[in-house]
Amino acid sequence: MPITVAALRETAAAERRVAITPEVAKKWRGQGLRVLLERGAGESAGFPDSSYPDVEFADADSVLTTADLLACVLPPTDTALAKLREGAVLVGQLRPYGAAERLSAIAARRLTAFALELLPRTTRAQAMDVLSSQAGVAGYRAMLIAAEACPKFFPMLTTAAGTIRPSRVLVIGAGVAGLQAIATARRLGAQTEGYDVRPETREQVESLGAKFLDLGVSAAGSGGYARELSADERAAQQQALADHLKVFDVVVSTAAVPGRAAPKILTAAMVAGMKPGALIVDLAAESGGNCELTRPGERVRQDGITVLGPLNLPAGAPLHASEMYARNVHHFVDLLLRDGALQPDFDDELVSKSCVVRAGEPVFRG
């Protein structure tokens, strides 16, 4: 019997992505795998059932009781986990931090589960790096949201009514999301600057045609993330940043580390010192936000400044986000296959470090 790789229709609020696209389904069928989807699984992402000629369709219960491997975008519900066939493999963004009950539920079904957000950030893992692929979508959409909400044009315009000066945009954090936000702001014609406490990001920011904002604080860390600032470094950073914020029309903040609360970079006092009509789009809202005024999923207006805390931005561009995500999943699943069977090699660090439950035994210590 061939391995059955499956996916459900995602049910989280406003989630429109799908873990298996027609492209990836075709590749798996070419590898001799059976692909099974819940009816309508890809509809919200722009992939109707008719676009999947290489798969079988069933209701959710049948998918769960049949799947050897279930791919997901976000963690399945407790109800779905309770119906998943014992001994199956679960692959996706499982949000393991602070999720002891969910991991216990996965273990209770004797599943083996892999949380893709735990993949080491190595060169070999790039093709399966869901954090990077989805962060790129988030950075792009964050800047589009900023351009729409900003009371000014982004580009310089020369009109019969006079010249319109370009908006000044600052992007805080030069990771994947931040760099994509910078690139998008530049494409939209804004006068763009980028800031990061990691000095090695200067070259990347400047390669996109933006100016690097140097505040004199350096905090390069490991794994591609910044280390935590000391109290003195944080005070120096905030004072220097407060002085610069006064000139910007738009600030997009993207500083976040998986499993931790987002660092508070923008204080209420700093926001109060910004120019009237300025806008902050806090991409880190889901993990508490980089701004003290951020409320996840809400628009806050204070002292003439608007603060937006958008959630799950990749779901707002579901077709391309799904295509990238499904390719990431496909590359990772290839690591789990051997001789036509699911045989994960736990000597491979990409497999072992992303595993949160192994054959019913919790192994994640986050």
Give how far Cα 328 sits from Cα of 14, 24, 179, 237, Å.
22, 10, 20, 36
- Cβ atoms 245, 260 nearer than 8 A: no
Strand pairing class (112-115; 355-358)? antiparallel
Instruction: Given the residues 59, 104, 126, 230, select the one marked as catalytic.
Output: 126
The one-letter amino acid at 142: A
Report how far residue 309's alpha carbon sits from residue 285's, in angstroms, rounded to the nearest whole number.
5
Report how far residue 211's alpha carbon sits from residue 41's, in angstroms, rounded to the nearest whole number.
43
Q: Could you count the other beta carbons within 10 Å of the beta carbon of residue 215?
A: 16
Question: Is 238 an annotated catalytic residue?
Answer: no
Q: Which two tokens stand for residue 2?
A: 């061939």
Helix axis angle for 176-187 and 130-149, nearest 10°, is 40
Report how far residue 109's alpha carbon sits from residue 84's, in angstroms, rounded to the nearest whole number.
7
Q: What residues have CB less than 8 Å from 175, skipping those under 6 apart? A: 135, 196, 224, 225, 254, 255
Q: What residues have CB less than 8 Å from 234, skipping those under 6 apart? A: none
Q: Which two tokens stand for residue 244?
A: 């610069």
Question: Is 126 an annotated catalytic residue?
Answer: yes
- Cβ atoms 177, 360 nearer than 8 A: no
Report how far residue 109's alpha carbon sits from residue 80's, in angstroms, rounded to the nearest whole number.
11
- Cβ atoms 313, 16 nearer than 8 A: no
DSSP 218-239: --B-STTSBPPPPHHHHHHHHH
Instruction: Given the residues 29, 62, 186, 225, select the one marked as catalytic.
Output: 225
Instruction: Given the residues 44, 132, 237, 354, select the one marked as catalytic.
Output: 132
Question: Is 132 an annotated catalytic residue?
Answer: yes
Instruction: Given the residues 16, 17, 129, 204, select the one marked as catalytic.
Output: 129
Instruction: Given the residues 39, 121, 260, 338, select the one marked as catalytic.
Output: 121
Question: Is 322 an annotated catalytic residue?
Answer: no
Question: Is 52 an annotated catalytic residue?
Answer: no
**What are the catalytic residues?**
121, 126, 129, 132, 225
